């Protein structure tokens, strides 16, 4: 049930064009950014500013407190006072000024004689040794923050606003001075009062300016998101559309289609992959066409011969002889071989065939094949010699290995020279590619006209025939070596050929013992 209800939603989401998706993401991003700006620049600016000022004044007070017993305390006070734009006084418990630094013009602690320094000590002590006071410089009104502090001065108490909450924006407008007082104890165990006076610039005007600016920024950012989304979407989607169009052409069977992916790396990689796919598909298509052409050609020749000779034997009594019957038999065999080869190669190359490895005597098996072949070819004057150093037993699929060997042997018989000699050699060698383990090498050498260097890399391919006009090429299927290759690949064996024009070829393969 769940998947049923969620799937239309998903598909609807999939159908949203990239343009809108990018726009929504950008809008979301801008929204978060603007929200942060609003919060920090408009709503919290005041508290941030105040917090920074409080920290600054506290840090200055701590510096002085730590150095109160130093000899050069006066210099220290003068320096920190100058550096932070804070007026400083150090008072004795009875309110007399011990040290003083006056750096801000018109600060309350230096310029207002009404500032009651005498009462300050007890006021601070009563407030746990720490007191914050906010003053309006002109009106000399005062409020305490953050805690209520009883005020003993009747003159000041009249104008005192005591509050536990941070001042509202309206009130804050008037307060331009922060006085921080702290009780400290010096080395002589005397209680001193540290008074620091810092000016606070009113932030309300700034906040208003920022607010107006943020209205403009918000409007601009939304517009900018739309434009940027359109540009990015076009930039991203254009190559995708181009690739999609090419893919549609490829789907209709046009393998010459080329994918042009420009703009960014991913699309370039995708188009490279698709170009490669198109190339491979066209190869497969070419092979398919070649296969059909080759098979139909190879089928047509024996079929024409068979039907031609059969008709002649039927209609002309003179032609009804064993020679013609033999031609029909030979051509039928060729057809069988062709069909078998095609079946084998398709099975081998699609991996639809498995090999059954079993230990057997390779030397004996090869000897049997050669004997059988010798018996068959003796009449035609062919001679196959077999040289083996010793009997070799290995685990392999005997039928398949025999098939591969038989293919090499047939080729050698087909292509050998006038002497009609073929030599098969079996040698054992330590294979450097396999930690010098023992491997066996079978070589089939003929004395034929050899294979041109340029053709060597291709003879193992399906349907490759070196010389199409060669007398035997008509009989071959062009699949023999391809079958040898597949069988040895399945056995993890090696194979190859060395050939010299007019001297002959040596086809070989190796197997692990």
Q: Stretches 22-30, 152-160, 285-293, 443-451: which one binds ligand ADP (CB under 6 A)?
A: 443-451
Query: What is the rounded distance in angstroms from the CA atom of residue 409 to the CA atom of residue 401?
Result: 12
Q: Stretches 94-102, 239-247, 281-289, 479-487: which one binds ligand ADP (CB under 6 A)?
A: 479-487
279 alpha carbon, distance to own chain's centre: 24
**Site for ligand ADP contains 403 (CB under 6 A):** no
Q: How many Cα atoms within 13 Å fall on the side-chain side of residue 268?
A: 4
**Site for ligand ADP contains 446 (CB under 6 A):** yes
Strand order in the sheet with 177-185: 97-101, 86-92, 191-199, 177-185, 130-136, 141-145, 160-162
**Is the dihedral angle over the CA atoms 16, 22, 25, 28 positive or is it negative?**
negative
Nearer Cβ to ligand ADP (194/412)? 412
Task: Give the nearest distance from C-beta 344 to ligand ADP in angstroms.
Answer: 12
Query: What is the rounded distance in angstroms from the CA atom of residue 191 to the CA atom of residue 90?
Result: 10
Q: Stretches 45-53, 216-224, 365-373, 462-470: which one binds ligand ADP (CB under 6 A)?
A: 462-470
**Site for ligand ADP contains 448 (CB under 6 A):** yes
Token pair belonging to 330: 């030979």
Return the number of other C-beta atoms located less than 10 Å from residue 212's C-beta.
10
With CB under 6 A as the contact rule, the residue among 22, 480, 509, 510 that binds ligand ADP is: 480
**Site for ligand ADP contains 510 (CB under 6 A):** no
Q: Stretches 36-44, 244-252, 380-388, 445-453: which one binds ligand ADP (CB under 6 A)?
A: 445-453
**Site for ligand ADP contains 508 (CB under 6 A):** no
**Site for ligand ADP contains 478 (CB under 6 A):** yes
Closest listed residue to residue 124, CA positions, set 168, 158, 89: 89
Rounded CA Rg of the chain: 51
Nearer Cβ to ligand ADP (99/415)? 415
Task: Give the nearest distance from C-beta 411 to ligand ADP in angstroms.
Answer: 3
Q: Stretches 35-43, 301-309, 397-405, 466-474: which one binds ligand ADP (CB under 6 A)?
A: 466-474
**Site for ligand ADP contains 183 (CB under 6 A):** no
Nearer Cβ to ligand ADP (16/452)? 452
SS3 185: strand
Q: Which position's Cβ is nearest ligand ADP? A: 476
**Site for ligand ADP contains 135 (CB under 6 A):** no
**Site for ligand ADP contains 482 (CB under 6 A):** yes
Q: Stretches 20-28, 176-184, 202-210, 473-481: which one binds ligand ADP (CB under 6 A)?
A: 473-481
Token pair belonging to 480: 């023999």
**Site for ligand ADP contains 302 (CB under 6 A):** no
Residues 348-367, interacting with ligand ADP (CB under 6 A): none
SS3 180: strand
How many chain residues interact with ligand ADP (CB under 6 A)? 21
**Site for ligand ADP contains 415 (CB under 6 A):** yes
DSSP string over 410-458: HHHHHH--TT-EEEEEEEEEEEGGGTTEEEEEEEEEE-S----TTTGGG
Residue that is written with structure tokens 């006009």 in the block: 469
With CB under 6 A as the contact rule, the residue among 64, 86, 179, 466 that binds ligand ADP is: 466
Contacts of 260 (CB under 8 A, 6+ apart): 239, 242, 246, 271
Closest listed residue to residue 359, CA positions, set 178, 187, 511: 511
Give contact residues for ligand ADP (rule: CB under 6 A). Answer: 407, 411-412, 415, 446, 448, 451, 459, 464-467, 473, 476-482, 505
């Amino acid at each position: 049930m769940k998947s049923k209800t969620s799937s239309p939603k998903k598909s609807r989401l999939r159908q949203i064009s990239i343009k809108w998706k990018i726009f929504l993401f950008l809008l979301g991003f801008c929204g978060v950014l603007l929200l942060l700006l609003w919060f920090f620049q408009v709503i919290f600016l005041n508290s941030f500013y105040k917090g920074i000022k409080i920290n600054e004044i506290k840090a200055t007070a701590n510096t002085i407190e730590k150095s109160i017993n130093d000899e050069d305390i006066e210099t220290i006070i003068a320096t920190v006072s100058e550096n932070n734009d804070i007026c400083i006084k150090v008072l004795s418990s009875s309110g007399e000024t011990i040290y003083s630094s006056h750096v801000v013009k018109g600060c309350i602690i230096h310029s207002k004689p009404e500032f009651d320094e005498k009462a300050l000590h007890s006021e601070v002590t009563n407030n746990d040794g720490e007191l914050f006071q906010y003053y309006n410089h002109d009106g000399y009104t005062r409020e305490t923050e953050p805690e209520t502090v009883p005020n003993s001065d009747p003159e000041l108490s009249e104008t005192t606003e005591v509050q536990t909450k941070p001042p509202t924006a309206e009130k804050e407008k008037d307060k331009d001075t922060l006085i921080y007082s702290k009780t400290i104890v010096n080395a002589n165990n005397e209680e001193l009062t540290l008074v620091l006076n810092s000016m606070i610039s009113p932030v309300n005007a700034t906040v208003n300016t920022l607010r107006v600016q943020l209205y403009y920024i918000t409007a601009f950012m939304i517009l900018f998101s739309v434009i940027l989304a359109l540009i990015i979407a076009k930039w991203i989607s254009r190559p995708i559309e181009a690739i999609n169009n090419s893919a549609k052409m490829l789907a209709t069977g046009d393998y010459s289609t080329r994918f042009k992916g420009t703009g960014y790396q991913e699309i370039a990689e995708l188009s490279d992959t698709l170009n490669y796919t198109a190339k491979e598909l066209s190869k497969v298509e070419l092979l398919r066409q070649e296969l059909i052409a080759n098979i139909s050609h190879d089928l047509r020749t024996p079929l024409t011969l068979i039907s031609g000779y059969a008709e002649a034997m039927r209609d002309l009594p003179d032609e009804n002889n064993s020679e013609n019957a033999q031609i029909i038999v030979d051509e039928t065999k060729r057809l069988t071989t062709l069909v078998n080869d095609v079946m084998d190669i398709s099975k081998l190359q699609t991996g639809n065939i498995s090999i059954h490895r079993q230990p057997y005597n390779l030397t004996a098996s090869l000897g049997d094949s050669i004997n059988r072949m010798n018996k068959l070819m003796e009449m035609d004057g062919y001679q196959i010699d077999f040289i083996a150093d010793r009997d070799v037993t290995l685990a392999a699929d005997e039928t398949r290995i025999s098939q591969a060997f038989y293919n090499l042997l047939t080729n050698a018989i087909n292509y050998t020279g006038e002497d009609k000699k073929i030599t098969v050699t079996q040698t054992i060698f330590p294979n450097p590619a396999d930690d010098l383990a023992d491997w066996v090498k079978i070589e089939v050498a003929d004395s034929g006209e050899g294979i041109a260097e340029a053709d060597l890399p291709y003879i193992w391919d399906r349907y490759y025939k070196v010389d199409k006009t060669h007398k035997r090429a008509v009989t071959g299927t062009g699949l023999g070596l391809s079958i040898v290759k597949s069988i040895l690949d399945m056995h993890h064996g090696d194979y190859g050929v060395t050939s010299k024009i007019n001297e002959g070829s040596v086809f070989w393969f190796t197997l692990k013992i």
